[in-house]
Amino acid sequence: MNNKGWIRIAEAFVSILILVGAAIVVVTGGIQKNDISDQAYEVEMAIFREVSLNDSLRSEIIGTTGTIEWDNFPSQTKNKILAKTPWGLECIAKICPLESTCLLDEEFEKNVYVDSTFIFSTLTNYNPRIIKLFCNE
């Protein structure tokens, strides 16, 4: 019973696996961190597109006055944003007058992805507003 040959074959096989694994890590540049920034901005743009093309959501936004925080957000628009937000992201929004800087008062511990769009009017009402979306991981 000579098992030394089989042990050497197993050692050689494990050594080859380790070398191939190291080569793959070197060639690919190491382990990539999961970057969701592109996905977050795509989600924000999809939400803005939905809001800007939906007449009732536009009317809700145009009908506001002053700065509207997430707690007092128009319900139909808030529900649409929550429904369109994917798992893994938490999005809140703010509606501001056009001349406002529209900054968020909260602080987040992780990355925050911010985008905004303008909603100027409905067929009967001209009241330019900024809707800003803040999404974090």
Q: How does pLDDT run across 7-63, given as a tens digit for each residue?
A: 888 888 889 999 998 888 888 776 555 667 788 888 899 999 998 899 999 999 999
Range of 28's domain? 1-32
**What pTM, to 2 d.p., does this model score?**
0.69
Number of domains in the chain: 2
Instruction: Kindly state the tokens that stand for 4.
Output: 């030394």
* Residue 84 and residue 132 in one domain: yes
* Residue 95 and residue 131 in one domain: yes
* Residue 22 and residue 85 in one domain: no
Instruction: Kindly state the tokens that stand for 46.
Output: 């999809």
Q: How does pLDDT run across 52-108, given as a tens digit for each residue?
A: 899 999 999 999 999 999 999 999 999 999 998 888 888 889 999 988 888 887 777
Q: 84 vs 6, which has greater pLDDT?
A: 84
* Residue 71 and residue 14 in one domain: no
Q: Report pLDDT for 32.
A: 58
* Residue 95 and residue 127 in one domain: yes
* Residue 44 and residue 93 in one domain: yes
- Half-sphere exposure (Cβ direction) of 1: Cα atoms closer than 13 Å: 0
* Residue 43 and residue 26 in one domain: no
Pairing of strands 90-97, 112-121: unpaired
Residue 132 banded pLDDT, cuts 50, 70, 90? very high
List the one residue out of 90, 81, 46, 32 whose CA is nearest residue 61. 81
DSSP H/E element including 76 = helix 75-84
* Residue 14 and residue 68 in one domain: no
